[in-house]
Amino acid sequence: MRGIPSLITDIRKKVFTEVAKMAYAGKGYEGVDELPYMIVPGDRPLHRESVFLERAIASERVRLAMGLNIRPIQTRHLMTEGMDVAAVAEQYYEPPLINIIPYACHACPTNQYKVSNYCQNCLAASCQKVCPKDAISFRNNRSYIDLDKCIRCGKCAKACPYNAIVHLQRPCQVACGMDAIVSDEQGKAVIDQDKCVACGQCLVSCPFGAIVDKGQIFQVIQSILQGDKVVAIVAPAFIGQFGKHSTPGKFIAAMKQLGFHRIVEVAVGADICTIQEAKDFLEKVPQQQNYMATSCCPAWHSMIEKLYPGEMDKISMTLTPMVFTARLMKKKNPDCKVVFVGPCAAKKLEAIRSNIRSDVDFVLTFEELQGMFEAKGIDFETIEPMSTLNEASASGRGFAVSGGVAGAVEKVIRETNPEVEVKTAQAEGLRDCRKLMALAKAGKYNGYLLEGMACPGGCVAGAGTLLPVELATNVVGRYQKEADTESPLESIYRDKGKTLE
């Protein structure tokens, strides 16, 4: 559903916009009780059976957008509960980051085979013949599946010549590569937080918009209003996310209007990361370890930690591009506040790690940033461009797409040590990442550099993006060609790695 405008994307944009407007008004959270009525106006529901239910859901969306927890539904709690603590310029996320609003969940069917109206009541009755449990019979001139007998083998669906048998699966559950989505006693989706790595793929897959991540829009704006020098470090996947007119020059101008002090490409940090990972690989593989995994994707990192803890020492110790860029900014201006702006929900959890939270003060997704642009009425078609971004290499910008990290590291090794053969393997999507790690653990990738991306397609497919993945990939490709330099070795920051670690 990513990149397809819908009522869900409209509501999310309204929530982020109204929270941003409230923050920019400079009166704290005064008027927050009115936001659900702005998001769901009038006396008729937009989609659900009741306008009151829609406003209740909108209330929780507002709270989550401000970084607060969902209120329990068993007891009475004010919408403003806890806001006096959260509505400040410095507030870290309190897990869980990814949340399911219970009364927004549709309790979708999980792993069921059902007969559709396309059943022709055919003489062959192939579906009945192949069923190993005699779960299929004829009722009202069509096949009927007894779900109590069905073992979900799918043989009936494969045998039907009319494709009349459909496989119903819960979209969020299918999207979760960690199998972290389970059901409660009412059949509604619940996240097993012990398994969740906050990739956010369930969030963009829920067709009812019941899954929501926490945000820091309000806190970022509070920091800007109190006079902090707030530096936005922007992931390379930003290009094109805000429409065809959002050129780098216009994007910088728009960010300045929001109140940001400076805008820097995280691709600068990606260049440093590339050089450091290349050195790391050359020093450790195969002398100290049989393979090395890239460090950039926090959900991939968390997946290894949860499922393959014995392989954690195989992950590169190199800092991520976000952290390298943040530390570079803090070194230049120790008093500045750093906001990572990117496509990724998992970066929000990375930023609250004890060894990183002093480097990255806030995290915003592109979707949340769009709400800030809307709040300020910024029009990319008419805004005058400012200076562009030109410090990063093409390889650094390529981190946004699957294969970009491993490709950049391999290229640097070829340039510095042409005699070394570098073998790479990559996986995108956590299910494939799990398979990759299982094979690596079994010794199938000795001598390899392994790249894992939790989102299918890479960072351009993150939960906070606005464009269809294929289009975003193409736009990033064009943006790479516009870079002044090709290799990270040409970066003016190429020697900064060790001093920033």
pLDDT confidence of residue 91: 65
pLDDT confidence of residue 357: 87
Burial class (CB within 10 angstroms; exposed 0-12, middle 13-18, buried 19+) of 65: buried
How far apart are the C-alpha atoms of 232 and 239, rounded to whole Å? 15
Whole-model pTM: value is: 0.95
Angle at 340 between CA 335 and CA 345, to 5 degrees: 145
Residue 162 host element (H or E)? none
How far apart are the C-alpha atoms of 195 and 225, rounded to whole Å? 38
Angle at 196 between CA 193 and CA 199, to 5 degrees: 140
What CATH code would you report for 112-168?
3.30.70.20
Angle at 253 between CA 247 and CA 259, to 5 degrees: 135
Burial 188-208 (b: 16+ CB within 10 A, else e): bbebeeebbbbbbbbbbbbeb
Low-confidence ranges of the chain (pLDDT < 70): 1-2, 89, 91-92
Burial 364-396 (b: 16+ CB within 10 A, else e): bbbbbbbbbbbbbebebeebeeeeebebbbbbb
β pairing state of 112-115 and 98-100: unpaired
**Residue among 380, 301, 314 at smallest CA distance from 347:** 301
Tell me the per-residue pLDDT of 169-225, one tens digit each, with 9 for 90 and over. 999 999 999 999 999 999 999 999 999 999 999 999 999 999 999 999 999 999 999
Maximum Cα interatomic distance, the chain, rounded to a whole number of Å: 78
Sorted by where each begins, the domain ranges of the chain are 7-100+175-218, 112-168, 219-487+492-496
Burial 33-57 (b: 16+ CB within 10 A, else e): eebbebbbeeeeeeebeebeebbbb
pLDDT confidence of residue 85: 80
**Residue among 370, 381, 346, 373 at smallest CA distance from 462:** 346
List residues bridging with 452 in a β-sheet. Answer: 427
Tell me the per-residue pLDDT of 146-156, one tens digit each, with 9 for 90 and over. 999 999 999 99
